């Protein structure tokens, strides 16, 4: 795996940030509250492959302002110069991509003054040619759910006029026109969503048509794009991006606080921006959508019971218990995965004591079974208060469950089940053997290793399983479903304790 790091020092409100930028294709999200630094981080990351208008983005640098990238032995630096300007990076680190800064910044029009708007508006139909099929169809599908909506209605400048506009107004992107009931509407006069999406689609078209000679994926950074798009359009846009990611080896990074986007991205690919004391910024990863949007979605917590758990395995086990015990009748119940057990406890405390859920809603906390002894001391140290003490699942975390039952104490029935239904190409045995080789080679104990955190936690083994899932175009949900079915079919003795707990709590 490649090692791609970005270090930000004294840029805007960020005093210090170290970020291991992913190098595996997929959809990713950077999220956090307003003013947390999302846009600064995403714009800084984009400067790994092009020279942005740094003064426009970050203002006048401080003496110690610096953005540094390191990628497999190559380095690229942007620093403050003596004249209080930003240096132009000369080093290339073999990264390709583009950045769209939504409403405020981006690659559209840097000088949209009245003269430009006037000139653009006076273009005649004879000076235009049809827009590409790619842009027309995708714009129609995403905004209207109709690929033919813009057929024979969407145009762009002919080459000669485009060159004139580029020379006189420094416009390097394509300009689009929509023929609406006999009138031409320029891109600058279109809705914000149309304007934004046209530029993104054209950039994607240019980038995917161009061969990527780099061994790394192409990076697409999109900053708060949801501000211009309807939720239904966001949904269709993400479906479109998911196809492009697989076909063209892309990494699409959203800077967002949209629950519509976050729900479509796996928690392993969500980074939550945390502002620490003194201006240092940390990124919490993995992050579950419920944690990232807890304050935005407080109004949606109109449930009789909220059950907070750590991960999707816990969610599936509890939802199956509730269904099989017929405990969903006449009750509105939501099971929310939050993240690590400390996050769950802090999250629950925040919801309770900030009154983010209605007073009539009962909150239950169910944690993985392997941390039961650590919880009381943490609750006391963090000064948390709960009227209902946390309960515990009959299994530890998904990572530890797989480590214990497939490596430390092999469960042949479970292994065969996973081979039959999930790992049909590369078997569980092959994955375990790969894990053993990595242990023997010292891969998980290297000081600079990407996976050395928690050697015995199961995270390293789970990384191998998750990598294989992606190769086979399968999801974590399929793995979780398989394990949950196995637990219930083998009638795990600890499940009865969970049954009794929910029957008691939900009958009060």
Residue 106 has pLDDT above 50, yes or no: no
Q: Which CATH number do you get for residue 34?
A: 3.40.50.300
User: 107 in a domain, yes or no?
Assistant: no
> Are 279 and 317 members of one domain?
no
What's the CA angle centered on 135, arms 94 and 244, to 5 degrees?
Answer: 45
Place of tokens 């959508």: 289
DSSP strand pairing (183-186 vs 218-223): unpaired
In angstroms, what CA-CA distances link 208 with 293, 345, 446? 33, 44, 37
User: 272 in a domain, yes or no?
Assistant: yes
User: 109 in a domain, yes or no?
Assistant: no
Distance of alpha carbon 479 from alpha carbon 213, whole angstroms: 35
In angstroms, what CA-CA distances link 234 with 247, 262, 282, 306, 449? 20, 11, 28, 27, 37
> Are 279 and 340 members of one domain?
no
User: 482 in a domain, yes or no?
Assistant: yes
> Are 132 and 170 members of one domain?
yes
> Are 299 and 270 members of one domain?
no
Residue 413 has pLDDT above 70, yes or no: yes
pLDDT attached to residue 172: 66
pLDDT band at 110 (very low <50, low <70, confident <90, very high): very low
> Are 316 and 364 members of one domain?
yes
Residue 237 has pLDDT above 80, yes or no: yes
Segment 5-40, tens digit of pLDDT:
999 999 988 999 999 999 999 999 999 888 888 988
> Are 140 and 281 members of one domain?
no
Place of tokens 């479906």: 239
> Are 414 and 337 members of one domain?
no
Question: Number of structural domains, the chain?
Answer: 4
Q: Give the phi and the psi of residue 224 in degrees, each rounded to 5.
A: 50, 50
pLDDT attached to residue 91: 87
> Are 86 and 220 members of one domain?
yes
User: 104 in a domain, yes or no?
Assistant: no
Residue 324 domain boundaries: 294-395+496-506
> Are 247 and 228 members of one domain?
yes
User: 73 in a domain, yes or no?
Assistant: yes
pLDDT attached to residue 140: 95
Burial 73-99 (b: 16+ CB within 10 A, else e): eeebebebeeeeebbebeeebebbbbb
**Residue where a domain terminates, one of 145, 175, 200:** 200
pLDDT attached to residue 53: 67
pLDDT band at 494 (very low <50, low <70, confident <90, very high): low
Residue 304 has pLDDT above 60, yes or no: yes
| Helix/strand/coil for 425 | coil
Q: Tell me the whole-structure pTM to 2 decimals.
A: 0.74
- In the chain, what percentage of residues exceed pLDDT 70? 89
Place of tokens 């009154």: 355
**Residue where a domain terminates, one of 166, 200, 234:** 200
pLDDT band at 447 (very low <50, low <70, confident <90, very high): very low
> Are 82 and 37 members of one domain?
yes
pLDDT attached to residue 456: 62
Average pLDDT over residues 97-114: 58
Mean pLDDT, the chain, whole residue set: 84
| Helix/strand/coil for 69 | strand
Dihedral sign, Cα of residue 121, residue 125, residue 127, residue 129: positive
Q: How far is CA 313 from the centre of its chain?
A: 20
- What contacts 500, CB < 8 A, 6 or more positions away? none
Range with lowest mean pLDDT among 71-75, 107-111, 185-189, 197-201: 107-111
Segment 316-361, tens digit of pLDDT:
888 988 888 888 877 788 898 998 899 999 988 888 887 777 777 8
User: 133 in a domain, yes or no?
Assistant: yes
> Are 167 and 217 members of one domain?
no
Q: Give the phi and the psi of residue 387 in degrees, each rounded to 5.
A: -75, -25
pLDDT attached to residue 450: 45
Q: Which CATH number do you get for residue 374?
A: 3.40.50
Closest among 284, 252, 216 to 71, alpha carbons compared: 216
Residue 280 has pLDDT above 60, yes or no: yes
pLDDT attached to residue 492: 65
User: 41 in a domain, yes or no?
Assistant: yes
> Are 147 and 185 members of one domain?
yes
Segment 154-201, tens digit of pLDDT:
999 888 878 877 777 666 678 899 998 778 888 878 888 888 899 899
Structure tokens that stand for 208 in this block: 């995917």
Distance of alpha carbon 492 from alpha carbon 320, whole angstroms: 13
């Amino acid at each position: 795996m490649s090692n791609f790091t970005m270090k930000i020092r004294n840029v805007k409100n960020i005093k210090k940030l170290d970020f291991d930028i992913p190098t595996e294709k997929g959809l990713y999200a950077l999220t956090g509250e307003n003013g947390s630094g999302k846009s600064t981080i995403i714009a800084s990351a984009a400067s790994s492959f092009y020279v942005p208008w740094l003064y426009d983005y970050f203002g006048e640098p401080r003496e110690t302002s610096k953005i540094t990238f390191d990628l497999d032995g190559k380095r690229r630096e942007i620093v403050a110069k003596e004249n209080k300007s930003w240096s132009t990076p000369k080093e290339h680190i073999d990264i390709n991509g583009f950045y769209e800064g939504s409403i405020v910044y981006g690659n559209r029009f840097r000088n949209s003054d009245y003269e430009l708007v006037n000139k653009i508006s006076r273009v005649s139909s004879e000076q235009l040619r049809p827009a590409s099929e790619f842009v027309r169809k995708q714009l129609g599908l995403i905004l209207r759910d109709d690929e033919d909506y813009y057929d024979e209605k969407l145009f762009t400048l002919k080459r000669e006029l485009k060159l004139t506009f580029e020379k006189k107004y420094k416009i390097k992107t394509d300009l689009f026109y929509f023929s609406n009931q006999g009138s031409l509407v320029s891109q600058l006069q279109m809705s914000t969503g149309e304007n934004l999406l046209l530029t993104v689609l054209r950039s994607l078209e240019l980038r995917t048509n161009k061969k990527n000679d780099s061994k790394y994926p192409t990076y697409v950074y999109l900053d708060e794009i949801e501000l211009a798009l309807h939720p239904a359009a966001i949904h269709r846009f993400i479906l479109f991006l998911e196809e492009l990611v697989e076909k063209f080896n892309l990494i699409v990074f959203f800077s967002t606080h949209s629950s519509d986007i976050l729900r479509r991205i796996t928690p392993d690919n969500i980074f939550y921006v945390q502002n620490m004391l003194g201006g240092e910024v940390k990124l919490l990863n993995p992050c579950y959508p419920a944690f990232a949007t807890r304050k935005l979605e407080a109004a949606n917590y109109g449930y009789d019971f909220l059950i907070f758990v750590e991960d999707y395995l816990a969610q599936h086990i509890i939802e199956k218990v509730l269904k099989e015990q017929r405990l969903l009748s006449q009750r509105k119940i939501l099971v929310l995965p939050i993240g690590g057990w400390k996050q769950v406890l802090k999250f629950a405390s925040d919801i309770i004591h900030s009154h983010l859920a209605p007073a009539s809603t009962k909150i239950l906390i169910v944690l993985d079974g392997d941390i039961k002894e650590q919880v009381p001391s943490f609750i006391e140290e963090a000064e948390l208060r709960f009227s209902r003490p946390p309960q515990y699942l009959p299994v530890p975390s998904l990572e530890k469950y797989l480590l214990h039952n497939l490596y430390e104490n092999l469960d042949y029935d479970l292994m065969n089940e996973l081979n039959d239904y999930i790992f049909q190409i590369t078997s569980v045995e092959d994955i375990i053997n790969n894990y053993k080789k990595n242990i023997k080679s010292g891969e998980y104990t290297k000081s600079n290793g990407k996976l050395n955190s928690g050697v015995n936690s199961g995270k390293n083994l789970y990384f191998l399983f998750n990598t294989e899932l992606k190769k086979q175009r399968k999801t974590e949900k399929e793995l979780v479903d398989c394990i949950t079915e196995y637990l219930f079919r083998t009638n795990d003795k600890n499940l009865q304790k969970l049954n009794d707990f929910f029957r008691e709590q939900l009958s009060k």
